[in-house]
Each structure stands twice: as C-alpha cells, then as structure tokens.
Amino acid sequence: MLKSLSTAPPKNATYADLVALPEHLVGEILNGELIASPRPAAPHATATSVLGMDIGSPFQRGRGGPGGWWIMFEPELHFNDDVLVPDLAGWRKERMPEVPNQAWFDLPPDWICEVVSPSTARIDRIRKMPIYARPSVSHAWLVDPLQRTLEVFRLQEQRWVVIGNYEGNVTVRAESFDVIELELGALWLPEVPAQPTDER
C-alpha cells in the first residue's frame, strides 16, 4: 500500500537568515520569504545619491527649504515579520523627533523611494508596495533611471493612487516635497551614443 506524502509548508525566513547573507547582498524578508539583491549598478546608485542630496539638503538640513524631516539612505524597516530596505525613506520630525539609536526602524516612514532596476522592478512594484501600504506609509516614489521616469504615489484608503508621472529632464514639484523644484535630469547618467555598425 502506497503512503501519501505530505508536503510541509515552507518555513518562513528569520532575521538570522537575513544576517547570514554575504555582505555584498541587500537582504529583505517579504511575506516570510528571504529576498537577496545585489548592490546597485551605477545608474541606480547615481539616482539614489543625487535624489538623497537634493531632498536631504532642504528638508533635513533646512538649506533652501523648510526642514522638518529625517531623510535616510537604505534604512532597515521592520513591519511585524516583514523587513524592508528602501533606497530612501523620510520621517517628519513631528512624528519622529529624534532618530532612535538602533539598527532598524519600526516606526513607518512618511515617504519611501525605490529606485528600480531590471532585477528589482517586479519585487519593488508587486511585492513591496503592498507591504508599505499596510502600516500606512503615506507617499511612495518609484524612480527608474534607465527609463528616466519618476512615479509619485499617495496612499488613499489603503490603496496606492498615482498622482504624478514624469519623464526625461523635466523640472518637477512632487509630493511630499513639492515646495521645491527637482531637476530630474540630474538623476540620470549621460546617454551613451549608439556605436555605428559595420554592415556589409
């Protein structure tokens, strides 16, 4: 008589699994699954760095802007069992007066930004955006340095609503930082001209 084989449900990843990853990988836990991503390539790193400076200077340091924010590069966010690492995140100082002296944040930010790449776009859009909505992160940006686009989302009744789509080298005012102008062209690497081909 054949015995039926029962398949045990997959074991949820733990924080120890995340810590055990090699240092060159960025680890996250999304709905129980360990996700490991390589460090970003130059277009991704450039967009993140420039955007962090352009927003951090007026909104965290108050230079040419209102201040009142903490802007962080790659903070580790803990939402119950989920662990996420957005490229950028911001907290209004009225909600988080002081930065906690710990390795991660369990207070949801007011704004997150994911700079998408071909290897992470599906994870950022399909897997992470719904998780950001659960603890009521109020604004999210998706920046694509290869397509040269910025998508701006606002959370309304636990659903993400697109409130702005921008492309190319335009100057924009985008929530939650619409009191200043952002030059999107500064986020992109120069385009490399196509090389002529020797067709015979």
Task: Determine the Cα–Cα distance for residues 141 and 88; give it in Å rounded to an integer.
Answer: 9
pLDDT higher for 151 or 66?
151
DSSP 8-state assignment for residue 189: P
Average pLDDT for 45-61: 95
194 pLDDT above the threshold of 60: no
Tell me: pLDDT of 200 over 70: no
Instruction: For the chain, give the mean pLDDT.
Output: 91
Residue 83 amino acid letter: V
**Residue 130 neighbours by CB under 8 Å, 6+ apart:** none
Range 56-67 average pLDDT = 88
pLDDT surpasses 90 at 85: yes
Q: Decide: 161 and 150 in contact? Cβ < 8 Å.
A: no
139-154: average pLDDT: 98
Q: What is the pLDDT of residue 38?
A: 87
Q: Report the pLDDT value the prediction gives residue 64, as an integer from 0 to 100.
A: 77
Task: Read off the pLDDT band of 8 (50, 70, 90).
Answer: low
Confidence band for 63, pLDDT divided at 50, 70 and 90 = confident
Q: Beta 111-115 vs 88-92: how paired, if at all?
A: antiparallel
Indicate if the pLDDT at residue 101 is higher than 70.
Answer: yes
Residue environment code for 172-194, b if the CB has 16+ CB neighbours within 10 A, otherwise e: bebebbeebebebeebbeeeeee
**Which residue would you say has higher pLDDT here, 7 or 146?**
146
Dist CA 56 CA 43 (whole Å):
20
Going by pLDDT thresholds of 50, 70 and 90, the confidence category of residue 42 is very high
Decide if pLDDT at 1 tops 50: no
Cβ-proximal residues to 53 (8 Å cutoff; 6+ apart), any chain: none
Quick one: what percent of the chain has pLDDT higher than 70? Answer: 90
Q: What is the pLDDT of residues 180-192, one digit of tens each?
A: 999 999 999 997 6
Residue 2: the pLDDT is 45
